[in-house]
Chain A
């Protein structure tokens, strides 16, 4: 939780990782290129005092994770998003068992979202059922641009993908996080194209589709489809840190999102350890639109409370203590 100026904020970090980018885990040169690229993102957008050394960044482990989120980072609950990248790393990039193990130790603080790939067909469906049971999944994280054998990516509205989405409905997996962006050499497909989200969001109204990174670098395409689909959400991971390095750009992103999709469908995420939540939360609570952007109405503490935690709490049925709820909210965790 975070408190400032008499306002109390319940914080859900809806996008975190425990990864291993060390050389010992690289499968090939792409493993090195990938973690180097992440480190450049980290260095480029973090305040100086929040920049880590490279070795710590490559692997930080559970203890550091708990300290940075719950010890210092104001976070009440965090959601792991799987990033497997098996083509680059021996033991995967995101550390599935370590993250899942930690979630079992701290079920009140952590949720683990796993991944699936519809191109694994029936075998993948069976695996999804086993994973859902073992991991008690409420959400999954998908990479539609990932390569898989001869396939250069898939769209959410393909027949096999629809079967997996229907299985998610059966299994009670309601939250489909979709990474739209480059993963492994997106060639043919425009990896950022969100048109498939539009189609499945219409067809599966009981699923929530959270577009990670709010569709950046194609904010406008995301806003356009999200406006028309009430079950499409925007995850702020990677957009958040602009609040420090490029505050005017951040203001425009938030301003556009509030205009197009509104305050109830935006989720805070640090993308830890790309960035640490402490400074992101503090700066966001202090954030206001610059005076020379009159096109955006002032952002209120209620809006910030929803974005920082209440919206994600509603999607994941988290029990938000009474003092953090909005006055109008009758049911636990409901931010709207």
Chain B
């Protein structure tokens, strides 16, 4: 077996694929939010875009800052620039991120608190939705019943996309990921009582519906917004435009 050496562009894209829209719980690369990636001898410049110029600036800031952090972690990336296009706070966010001012530093008197709590809220929701998807799949399989779900362990979940998504969400909020950890726990790790399971699953399902619906809508809105000004993007499903002018080493 030969080891594949990935191109700089592939490294950059896979770093960007770790950046999630906090509300939609999907990578920015899949949502069409990455407009372009330009790599040259000095470094990399990435342009992000959003479905409306009124997307909440706190979420916009999180994505730009996360993209910046993800790219600076790529070996040999060089100088990293992340720019947000067409947002009503583009200038502020771009300047603040470039100078590593942090959220409060970027918005100055306009912001009071850091965004850690907001981010945690959405990581918890993402966990709840991922947990519901796993529980639903084992219920549909017919091997488990609702009454038995409080006993379900990570070990019992079939390997696959649903389980690995759940594992990532658990890691993000600090829940154990060992094989005998219970699946049905709240965001502090407390097991869900048997009498609460049905209600808990129902609320988790509503959370999933909400997150999935928003992601659909944002994707559609981005397509509407950029259909006229970016016909090439529309034709490619709004994949990022990649240019690599780095001299071969």
Contact = CB atoms under 8 A, between A and B. Distances in A.
| A and B pair up | yes
B172 interface: no
A33 B107 contact: no
A186 B221 CA distance: 20
A252 interface: yes
B101 interface: no
B110 A223 contact: no
Interface string A115-127: 0000000000000
Nearest to A30: B88
Interface stretch (B39-47, B51-59, B142-150): B51-59
A267 to B, nearest CB: 19
A220 B214 contact: no
Nearest to B88: A33
Given A188-B111, A249-B216, A253-B213, A219 B52 contact: no
B121 interface: yes
Interface in A213-254: 216-220, 223-224, 242, 245-246, 249, 252-253
A107 interface: no
Given A37-B52, A249-B213, A252-B209, A190 B118 contact: yes
A253 B52 CA distance: 22
Interface string B20-58: 000100000000000000000000000000011111111
A37 B53 contact: yes
Interface string B203-237: 10111011011101100110111000000000000
Contacts of B225: 40
Interface string A37-62: 10011011100000000000000000
A182 B112 CA distance: 18
A220 B56 CA distance: 19
A260 interface: yes
B89 interface: yes
A36 interface: yes
A223 B221 contact: no
Contacts of B212: 249
B113 interface: yes
Nearest to B204: A220
Contacts of A253: 209, 213
Given A44-B221, A187-B111, A182 B206 contact: no
A204 interface: no
B202 interface: yes
A195 to B, nearest CB: 11
A157 interface: no
B118 A220 contact: no
B57 A185 contact: yes
Nearest to B214: A217
Contacts of A220: 125, 203, 206-207, 209-210
B210 A217 contact: yes
Given A33-B88, A188-B113, A219 B209 contact: yes
A280 B213 CA distance: 19
Contacts of A218: 210
B233 to A, nearest CB: 15
B52 A185 contact: no
Nearest to A191: B56
Interface in A165-205: 182, 185-188, 190-191
B130 to A, nearest CB: 14
Contacts of B56: 182, 186, 191
Contacts of B55: 182
A256 B23 CA distance: 19
A150 B108 CA distance: 12
Contact of B54 (A29, A152, A182, A260): A182
Interface in A131-160: 150, 152
B221 A187 contact: no
A245 B220 contact: yes
A281 B222 CA distance: 27
Given A188-B112, A220-B203, A40 B88 contact: no
Contacts of A150: 109
A152 B109 CA distance: 10
Nearest to B213: A249
Contacts of A41: 221
A287 B56 CA distance: 33
Nearest to B223: A44
Contact of A33 (B54, B213, B217): B54
Contacts of A36: 53
12 contacts: A40-B225, A44-B224, A188-B112, A188-B113, A190-B121, A217-B214, A242-B217, A246-B216, A246-B220, A249-B217, A252-B213, A256-B205
Query: Which 4 pairs across A and B sit closest by C-beta, in order of nearness?
Result: A44-B224, A219-B210, A220-B206, A217-B214
Interface of B: 23, 51-58, 88-89, 107, 109-113, 118, 121, 125, 202-203, 205-207, 209-210, 212-214, 216-217, 220-221, 223-225
Given A37-B52, A40-B225, A220-B206, 7 more contacts: A29-B88, A37-B54, A190-B118, A217-B217, A219-B206, A245-B220, A256-B209
